[in-house]
Amino acid sequence: MIASDVINLKAFAVRFVDILEEVKKQNKKILVAMHNLLDGDAFGSAVGFCLLMRQVGIETILTGLPFVPEKFRFLALRNSIPYYETFPLAQ
């Protein structure tokens, strides 16, 4: 990592925190959408992001496109994170 990368990363982090503070102040929610036919990495990362946002007091909406595979659903359920599917599969 070169010095300019570190400066850019710091600038990004500061701006990201500013955006989160504005979202929280306006009492807005963040929609977390994952790629089509998601895998465990995508869903696990999305759940982790939702948990991080919960820690800073921001509500999230998690959505699976077109659905969340059953084998990954426990990640959201165990952490009380609601998720929505655009094309839910029959249970």
Residue 38 has a pLDDT of: 85
Quote the tokens at residue 36: 């089509």
Encode the chain (91 residues) as per-residue pLDDT tens digits.
677 777 888 889 999 999 999 999 999 999 999 888 889 999 999 999 999 999 999 999 999 878 888 899 999 999 999 888 887 765 4
Residue 30 has a pLDDT of: 94
Decide: 47 and 76 in contact? Cβ < 8 Å.
yes
Q: Which helix or strand (DSSP H or E) is residue 19 part of?
A: helix 3-25
Burial class (CB in 10 A: 0-12, 13-18, 19+), 4: exposed
Q: Compute the residue count for the chain.
A: 91
pTM of the shown model: 0.82
